[in-house]
Amino acid sequence: MDPADAASEPTGPERSSENGVEELRTTTVSVRSERLGLRGAVDVVEDADGRVIPVEIRPGAGRDEGRSAWESDVVLLCVKALLLREMGYACERGVLHYLASNTRVLVAFTEERMAAALATVEAACDLAESPNAPQPLVDSPKCPRCPVVSVCLPDEVNLLLGRTDRPPRRLVPTDEDAKPLYVGEQGSTVRAHEGRLVVTSREGELASFLELDISQLCVYGAVQVTTPAIQRLLARGVPVCWFSSGGWFYGMATGLPSNNVQLRIAQYRLASSREALKVCREIVAGKLRNARTLLRRNARGDVSQALARIDAARTAAETASSIDQLLGIEGSGARAYFSAFRQMISVDSTGTRRGQRPALLRLQCPRQRGNRCMPHRWTRSFAGLLPPTSVREASTCPRPGGGVSSAHWGLGRHPGDQQRRGSEERLREAGRGGVPGSPREEESPLGL
């Protein structure tokens, strides 16, 4: 490869003369190596006497008030020197420029340093291919500010592994400034006006919100959203979601898709491999384990039979031989859980029965609304995954009559419920001359 191809939209070369030696400086030089599987960019490359000198600009200060460099910065500079050598450049030394202390530290690329950098690259590649996460840092001051500290839980993990005896540091969740906007006033219109979203009706203006304060827009039923409002929201990466007046999720509009192609490739590979069944086993077993824990903690009566059935379903889920068998096991466990669900509810004199479902309306309604507003397809879309490709959801197939089936396997759905609900739906629609498969506002999407 021609070394001249290494520059990706760099600034124009700057010539300077110092101590009688003419130097050529180029900024933002892209480097890559197919053999090492790495690519990156060098902040500044200086060319003197036919040899290049990579300059890495760091925002902080060096060690000892800038007189020496941090070891991690040295490794980073050596890795970029490896990439320059892979592309045909002669590179013997580099420079670390620390902005906070305004100092330059010269780094010689010795054999020991280059070997250590290469070993670091190989270890990073092995870690990326490994299914197991590395052990977290011990008492690191960087962990509380890390965005994934609630997932990694370094203090809790180290305490359980016996690597430290210090109590875990308290985690304070961040409070996002932007909040979801829900519009359910029938006949209203959502407009964009001077950086705000204005909700109006025939009677006049109902509410007004700053666009910066909105994380997503959810409209229910006969609510209009103007084209300028949709354009403004999508330009800011704010999704617009449409629901029926009863809460059925119809679809959503989002901005440009994510550029993370590797995520989609990994999703396709997982969905078409034998690992899909393993992932499904872990999901269902974890759900049943959590359901059993909730019953043990909150039940006010005897739920020993339900606990035994849930535990048996969990054991069977860990050894299921197919996705279909796993769906049946999941439904059996969910049936046992909801059969004892009433034992976790304190029913007083204000308790109200709804048909044959003995659940309080004040609990039943939010639960149904939440299940309708957060289907699996919606959550996977927000996570950056492609909804139709799932390791756990049955594919939706067109019906012979031209309609599209909206049935999917969800949490707590028994396999027999889907067939029963389909038969009841066809009978009801045939009796009133409707079209099978058309959603109705008064029907709950839960098969419980």
Please tell me whether residues 287 and 308 are part of one structural domain.
yes
pLDDT for 386 equals 57
The bridge status of strand 93-98 relative to strand 51-58 is parallel
pLDDT for 67 equals 79
| Number of independent structural domains in the chain | 4
Please tell me whether residues 122 and 167 are part of one structural domain.
no
Of 160, 384, 376, the residue nearest 287 (C-alpha): 376
Please tell me whether residues 282 and 428 are part of one structural domain.
yes
pLDDT for 346 equals 67
pLDDT for 129 equals 85
Is 136 a member of any domain?
A: no
pLDDT for 411 equals 34
pLDDT for 7 equals 35
- The pLDDT profile of the chain, 448 residues, written as one tens digit per residue, is 333 333 333 444 454 544 444 556 788 888 988 888 888 899 999 887 778 999 999 988 888 876 788 999 999 999 999 999 998 889 999 999 998 888 899 999 999 999 999 999 999 888 888 888 788 999 888 888 888 888 888 998 999 899 998 888 887 776 778 899 999 999 999 999 989 999 999 999 999 999 999 999 999 999 999 999 999 999 998 999 999 998 899 999 988 776 667 777 877 887 777 788 888 899 999 999 999 998 988 888 899 999 999 999 999 999 999 888 998 999 999 999 999 988 888 655 444 444 444 444 444 444 444 444 444 444 444 455 555 555 555 444 443 333 333 333 333 333 344 444 454 454 444 444 443 343 443 333 333 2
Is 138 a member of any domain?
A: no
pTM score, whole prediction? 0.43
pLDDT for 384 equals 54
Please tell me whether residues 269 and 331 are part of one structural domain.
yes
pLDDT for 404 equals 33
Please tell me whether residues 322 and 420 are part of one structural domain.
yes
pLDDT for 220 equals 95
- CATH number assigned to the domain comprising residue 121: 3.40.1350
pLDDT for 387 equals 56
Is 366 a member of any domain?
A: no
Please tell me whether residues 292 and 226 are part of one structural domain.
no
Is 17 a member of any domain?
A: yes
Please tell me whether residues 88 and 26 are part of one structural domain.
yes
Please tell me whether residues 419 and 304 are part of one structural domain.
yes
Is 361 a member of any domain?
A: no
Residue 260 region, left (φ>0) first, then alpha (ψ -120 to 50), else beta? Answer: beta
CB 219 within 8 A of CB 183: yes
Is 354 a member of any domain?
A: no
pLDDT for 275 equals 80
Please tell me whether residues 25 and 117 are part of one structural domain.
yes
Q: Which of 253, 277, 303 is the last residue of a domain?
A: 253
pLDDT for 344 equals 86
Instruction: State which amino acid sits at residue 75.
Output: V
Q: Which of 194, 228, 253 is the last residue of a domain?
A: 253
CB 343 within 8 A of CB 299: yes
Please tell me whether residues 188 and 275 are part of one structural domain.
no
pLDDT for 177 equals 82
Q: Which of 236, 253, 270 is the last residue of a domain?
A: 253
Q: At what angle do helices 323-339 and 304-317 cross, to 10 degrees?
A: 170
Please tell me whether residues 207 and 60 are part of one structural domain.
no
Please tell me whether residues 320 and 237 are part of one structural domain.
no
**Domain interval for residue 163:** 144-173
Phi, psi dihedrals of residue 348, rounded to the nearest 5°: -110, -165
Is 364 a member of any domain?
A: no
What lies within 8 Å, CB to CB, of 446 at 6+ separation is 368, 371, 412
Is 139 a member of any domain?
A: no
Buried b (16+ CB within 10 A) or exposed e, 303-331: beebbebbeebbebbeebeebeebbbbbb
